[in-house]
């Protein structure tokens, strides 16, 4: 398993580099073919490479991704290593170890009939090209197991917040900032008003629907020169919500935002991206995982609700029971301390194999 993990990590797969993702797909495909006994179907959608294995009529979807957030060249600063039971390297935790565990788990089964394995190449950037593929597959299945990394301490992820993303653009009017600033409409000042309005908006949604909603201004830009009143300003907004009602409430309120400065114009783009993964979508599968752990003599699994989203949000939103976080045990997704506890890898593979076998 460690040799396979090293092979995947050493093939960098930054989401924005479609050529690198295509190279990674070839490595994942070869590894999967060796362990599953069949080649995948390679699907290239808008330049992004995805892989799908189908065995018989699918009833169970196993879902993962092979792209990472790490730019090409990250191996130079975050090299592959295994020391004292800890594996490190870009993407090792999120989620290349999950793919290795999945392939080895399925290789241990007497039959793969009824399974669909889908490994996408753009999860880290919102699954723009793979969302339809994921949802169409999930609608035909009775269960989805997501090989994203576990929550703290190996907990399974039974609830995820929904995600919305917005782009606010303010159109003002340029003017010389020293000679006649009063003739301009300062887009940066208007943007500041909108940032304050967004904070109030988050408080409003929390009062209406309950706690758990966050509305976070992230990327900002404004202006072209130090001596010019900014004619344009831009803001990206990250929204996390606990349920569909909060997601809809945020969307309605954001689209009602109005400029404060006379003459300024506000343009709003984006919207809901991933629906929430509600705990109810995981309840029966988590119970099955608890039974499987007991049968294998393992500690009872714990469950966790997390703010980050995954493609499991899409499968649950499509009406398919979904259990997430079945991948690696470790920590540091997207961070310098990203790592995997290697001793947990075969244990998690055994748990997944038992889960899948119980549903076949």
pLDDT in tens, 112-131: 999 999 999 999 999 999 99
Distances (CA, A) of 121 to 62, 143, 235, 278, 316: 15, 22, 27, 25, 20
Q: Please check whether residues 203 and 118 belong to one and the same domain.
A: no
Q: Please check whether residues 127 and 190 belong to one and the same domain.
A: no
Give the three-class secondary structure for 125. helix
User: Domain holding 254: CATH number?
Assistant: 3.30.70.360
Residue ranges in the chain modelled with pLDDT below 70: none
Question: In which residue are the tokens 């699918």 written?
Answer: 58
Which of 221, 246, 274 is the last residue in one of the domains?
Answer: 274
In whole angstroms, give the CA distance from residue 248 to residue 242.
11
Q: Please check whether residues 22 and 120 belong to one and the same domain.
A: yes
Of 71, 48, 14, the closest CA to residue 134 belongs to 48
Q: Please check whether residues 171 and 283 belong to one and the same domain.
A: no
Q: Please check whether residues 8 and 108 belong to one and the same domain.
A: yes
What's residue 210's pLDDT? 87
What's residue 209's pLDDT? 87
- CA atoms lying within 13 Å on the CB side of residue 182: 0
DSSP characters over 309-323? --THHHHHHTT--EE
User: Domain holding 339: CATH number?
Assistant: 3.40.630.10
Query: Can the peptide bond before residue 95 be classed as cis, meaning omega within 30 degrees of 0?
Result: yes
Q: Please check whether residues 12 and 74 belong to one and the same domain.
A: yes
Instruction: Say which residues have a Cβ less than 8 Å from residue 1's Cβ, sequence separation at least 6.
Output: 100, 101, 104, 342, 345, 346, 349
Q: Please check whether residues 137 and 183 belong to one and the same domain.
A: no
What's residue 262's pLDDT? 97
The total number of structural domains that make up the chain? 2
Which of 251, 274, 297 is the last residue in one of the domains?
Answer: 274
Q: Please check whether residues 34 and 148 belong to one and the same domain.
A: yes
Question: What's the CA dihedral at 342, 153, 326, 28 to 10 degrees?
Answer: -40
Phi, psi for residue 86 in degrees, rounded to 5: -120, 120
Range of the domain at 23: 2-160+276-359
Q: Please check whether residues 153 and 283 belong to one and the same domain.
A: yes
DSSP characters over 189-257? HHHHHHHHHHHHHHHHHHHHH-S--EEEEEEEEE-S-TTB--SEEEEEEEEEESSHHHHHHHHHHHHT-
What's residue 318's pLDDT? 96
pLDDT in tens, 62-100: 999 999 999 999 999 999 999 999 999 999 999 999 999
Q: Please check whether residues 25 and 134 belong to one and the same domain.
A: yes
Q: Please check whether residues 253 and 295 belong to one and the same domain.
A: no
What's residue 298's pLDDT? 96
Which of 244, 274, 304 is the last residue in one of the domains?
Answer: 274
Token digits for 299? Answer: 């500690």
Q: Which residues are catalytic?
A: 67, 123
Q: Please check whether residues 139 and 185 belong to one and the same domain.
A: no
Token digits for 314? Answer: 């899409």
């Amino acid at each position: 398993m460690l040799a396979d993990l090293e092979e995947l990590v050493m093939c960098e797969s930054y989401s924005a580099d479609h050529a690198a993702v295509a190279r990674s797909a070839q490595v994942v495909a070869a590894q999967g073919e060796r362990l599953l006994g069949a080649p995948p179907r390679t699907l290239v959608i808008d330049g992004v490479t995805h892989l799908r294995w189908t065995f018989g009529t699918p009833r169970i979807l196993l879902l993962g991704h092979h792209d990472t957030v790490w730019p090409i060249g990250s191996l130079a600063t975050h090299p592959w290593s295994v020391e004292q039971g800890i594996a490190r390297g870009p993407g090792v935790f999120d989620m290349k170890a999950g793919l290795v565990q999945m392939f080895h788990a399925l290789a241990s089964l007497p039959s793969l009939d009824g399974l669909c394995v889908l490994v996408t190449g753009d999860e880290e950037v919102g699954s723009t090209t793979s969302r339809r593929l994921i949802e169409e597959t999930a609608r035909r299945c009775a269960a989805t197991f997501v090989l994203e990394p576990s929550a703290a301490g190996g907990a399974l992820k039974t609830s995820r917040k929904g995600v919305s993303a917005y782009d606010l653009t303010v159109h003002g009017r340029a003017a010389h900032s020293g000679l006649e600033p009063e003739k301009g409409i300062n887009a940066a000042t208007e943007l500041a008003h909108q940032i304050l309005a967004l904070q109030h908006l988050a408080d409003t949604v929390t009062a209406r629907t309950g706690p758990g909603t966050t509305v976070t201004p992230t990327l900002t830009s404004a202006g072209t020169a130090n001596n010019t009143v900014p004619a344009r300003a831009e803001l990206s907004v990250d929204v996390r919500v606990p349920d569909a009602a909060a997601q809809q409430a945020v969307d309605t309120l954001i689209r009602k935002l109005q400029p404060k400065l006379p003459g300024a114009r506000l343009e709003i783009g984006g919207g809901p991206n991933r629906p929430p993964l509600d705990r109810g979508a995981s309840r029966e599968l988590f119970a099955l995982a608890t039974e499987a752990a007991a049968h294998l003599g393992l500690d009872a699994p714990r469950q966790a609700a997390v703010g980050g989203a995954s493609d499991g949000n899409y499968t649950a939103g499509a009406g398919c029971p979904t259990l997430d976080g079945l991948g690696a045990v470790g920590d540091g997704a997207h961070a310098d301390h990203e790592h995997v506890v290697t001793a947990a890898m075969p244990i998690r593979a055994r748990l997944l194999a038992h889960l899948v076998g119980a549903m076949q």
